Structure 1
Amino acid sequence: MSNRFVNIIVPVIAVILGIAVGTLIMILSGYNPLDAFAALWQGAFGDEFYFGETVRLVTPLLLAGISVAFAFRTGLFNIGVEGQLIVGWLAAVWVGTAVELPKLIHLPLAVLAAALAGALWGFIPGLLKARFRVHEVIVTIMMNYVALHVTNYFIKNVLSDNGDKTERVAESASLRSEFFEGLTDLSRMHWGIFIALFCVFIMWFLLEKTTTGYELRSVGFNQHASQYAGMNVNKNIIYSMVISGAFAGLAGAMEGLGTFEYASIKGGFTGTGFDGIAVALLGANGPIGIILAAVLFGSLKQGALNMPLQAGVPNELVDIIIALIIFFVASSYMIRWFIERISKKEVK
């Protein structure tokens, strides 16, 4: 059995096992799983509004997923996607509220500001890793908290008059469109989905079709061999974290310019950045896999909102299913071992 087939089938089995165990938990808790999953499907794809909201949820998950995956593919662990997303959100809203420009200039400028802010937040752990060999996991986790409290300070003291949120971004900086509102019955779906899909393509093209991408993957695979081959290891480490941070900052722009159109003081993390880790793991760090994983997680999260209303099932059960899927993905070596045993028996 080829490794490529195993890499494809393992996440599928993980999803099936997660749903199966989640179904068992529903039965043991006295809930009807058929009603629960029917309500979940209805809440995710039942009509135009729900479909639009699902796409809206998938959009930042896609960008958070490729942010994590890009770092993984280059040998780094960017656990700071949440913080990079938050600063990107703030930067996009700041530009969206601070200036008045034609939409053709204002919107790209606000999106670019988010990418630059995320890139800057990724540059710091990248520099510390490259120059001082400080582990990026520790630094990125710490930077999440710095991002949360620094952005809260700016929202309260700079972008508002001691308020808990900023003004709405100008219409010229908004990703929303009357076209999508009419198409999806006034959902919050916006143009950001096309930006996210384009970024998935950029990630694939950069890693697989460019010299820079080859060097980034090579450094991630073996730093000593790459240095011996004449590659600048430190520069590539920084590049990797900067690019990963830029993708995460764009995820923040999707929230600040599309879903909410403002920035508010946060009592805790949004969770989207951490969900990006799960999306990357389930998607096996590949572009197609990440798209499918983001759609799965987005539809589960959106559909879960309908479960208490239609089936009387707590939406926390969906969180349990998601956690189980992540558990089985993280334990993929057990699934691989089982598949290998079966394939060996078939050969005999």
Structure 2
Amino acid sequence: MTTDTSPATPPPAPPPNAEAEPDKEQNLLQEILSGSWLVSVLAIVLALLLGGVLIAVSNAEIVAAAANFFAAPGSFFSTLFSTVGEAYSALFRGAVFDWNARTTERAIRPLTESLVSGTPLILTGLGIAMAFRCGLFNIGGQGQVILGATIAGYLGYALELPPVVHMLIATLGGIIGGAIWAGIAGVLKARTGANEVIVTIMLNSIAGYLLGYLLKQGWFTHTTSANPQSRAIDDSSQMFLLLPPPFRLHFGFILAILATIFVWWLLERSTIGFEFKAVGANPHAARTAGISVAKVTITVMVVAGALAGLGGAAQVLGTEGKLTGGISGSIGFDAITVALLGRSKPWGTFLAGLLFGAFKAGGYLMQSQTGTPIDIVLVVQSVIVLLIAAPPLVRSIFRLPTPVLKRKEA
């Protein structure tokens, strides 16, 4: 009998590890968040320098002086520094303190306007930052803000309740709306493995179209106006002002401070916060330790959506006063930058929200007094996003050492 000496057929290659893709996403997120506070500050400095270049090339006087640079270089640099300086000076005066104002009230109003603009950014940014800490890319802040504002606004004019109670009920409705909307993505992620980036982006579009549809329904808007907007919310549902008119700073800013303290406590002092961070650091090890990754995923998304919904409630009940198609503006997308700039830390997110609120408030004065396009402020914000998302780029520009990251245990 002849013995078969042919080499054995090699075993089939194992199927690709389904968990490899989540690992890649979490490694990417950890790389983005690996930058230090110095990297964040330098990113802002670089963005402002680029903004100065754009201010220069968009100014006719500087362009004319550049044409005679070799004949009169001093005139060019004088015009350059004075123009850019005036633009950034107007930005500061419109965002923090206007020393040219005739009254103390007008001098300090810019700071309060920055706080008003930063309030929804802080609240929404906290929700996105919490998801980032758990290794989830919550890109659905925009939709969660829209749902929160929609429900809060509707309850704000459709119900008749006593003043404080009405405000609390409408605010709670906004929180629930955002939590439900984000919870959908959390359940799909936990139960089916659906990519939360795709799901939340789609939910953004659905929320926007849903609001557009509702604003065409008379039963919802409670008005016969041909414009796609609701009637004004009742005075009893408005978030009360912290300062007398003409200041617009409202109770929503107090809620932003309380929410920041709550998120800090939740992540740093609570058991469930420990589970959040454990899943964000290594979901496989967390699962081995007995932590339900699915439960944590759903819980994180619900809490994140609740915070974003609170941001939408603050926008409609504290600032806008009625529902429109553009009620959310770009809050949900700007909040992603706020969370990244704040390194997904509660107080870092709080300060980043104030910074972007200052950009928004000061941009209008910069445009009106110096003729500088307000789009330059948007470019500065976008460059900050780019640099924050690429810490190695900032380190290479300023020759900073690369931090040593802790390697995961096998």
Query: TM-score of the superposition, structure 2-length normalised?
Result: 0.78
Q: Which residue of 1 aligns with 2:185?
A: 125
Give the 3-state SS of the residue equivalent to 2:137 in structure 1: coil
**1:99 corresponds to which of 135, 156, 159:** 159
CA change 1:341–1:170 in 2 (3 A) is: closer
2:243 partner SS:
helix
Show the counterpart of 2:220: 159
**Residue aligning to 2:55:** 26
For residues 142 and 270 of structure 1, what CA distance do their matches in structure 2 show? 17
Q: Which has the higher contact order (CA 8 A, sep 6+)?
A: 1
Is 1:332 aligned to residue 396 of structure 2?
A: no
| Matching residue's letter, 1:247 | L
| Contact 1:78/1:136 (<8 A) preserved | yes
State which drifts further: 270-279 or 223-232. Answer: 223-232
Greater percentage in helix: 1
Q: Determine the C-alpha separation between the residues in 2 that align with 1:84 and 1:76.
A: 15
Greater displacement, 168-177 / 5-14:
5-14
- In 1, Cα distance between equivalents of 2:317 and 2:347: 26
Q: Deviations over 1:300-333 (max 9, x none)?
A: 1111101122112111111111112222212212
Letter of the 2:337 counterpart: A
Aligned position for 2:373: 314
Measure, in 2, the Cα distance between the counterparts of 1:214 and 1:49: 41
**2:330 corresponds to which letter in structure 1?**
G
* Alpha-carbon displacement from aligned partner over 1:155-175 (angstroms, at most 9, x marks no partner): 321322564211211111101
Whether the 8 Å contact between 2:312 and 2:328 is mirrored in structure 1 is no
For residues 177-216 of structure 1, the aligned pairs below 5 Å read 177=241, 179-182=242-245, 186-216=246-276
SS of residue matched to 2:335: helix
Which one of 99, 114, 120 corresponds to residue 54 of structure 1? 114
Larger radius of gyration: 2
Q: Does 1:172 align with 2:240?
A: no
Aligned to 1:108: 168
Q: CA deviation at 1:108?
A: 1.2
What secondary structure is seen at the aligned counterpart in 2 of 1:109?
Answer: helix
CA 1:339–1:153: 2 relative to 1, 3 Å: same
Q: Once superposed, which parts of structure 1, at least 4 consecutive aligned residues long, lie more than 4 Å away?
A: none
Q: Is the 8 A contact 2:116 2:253 kept in 1?
A: yes
Given candidates 295, 300, 325, the residue that maps to 2:359 is: 300
**8 A contact 1:54–1:302 mirrored in 2:** yes
Letter in 2 for 1:237: T
Give SS of 1:146's match: helix
Structure 2 vs 1, CA of residues 5 and 281 (structure 1 numbering), >3 Å: closer, same or farther?
closer
Structure 2, unmatched stretches of 5+, are 1-32, 63-82, 99-106, 404-410
> CA offsets per residue over residues 250-290 of structure 1, 9 Å max, x none?
01001110101111234x96100000000011111112211
Structure 1 unmatched ranges of 5 or more: 343-348
Checking the alignment, whether the CA contact within 8 Å between 1:176 and 1:188 is kept in structure 2 is: no
CA distance in 2, matches of 1:68, 1:6: 18
Which one-letter code corresponds to 1:12 in the other structure?
Answer: V
Conserved? CA contact 1:156–1:265, under 8 Å: no
Separation in 1, partners of 2:248, 2:291? 45
Report the equivalent of 1:73: 133
Superposed displacement of residue 6, structure 1: 6.0
Percent identity for Structure 1 against Structure 2: 36
Q: CA deviation at 1:101?
A: 1.5
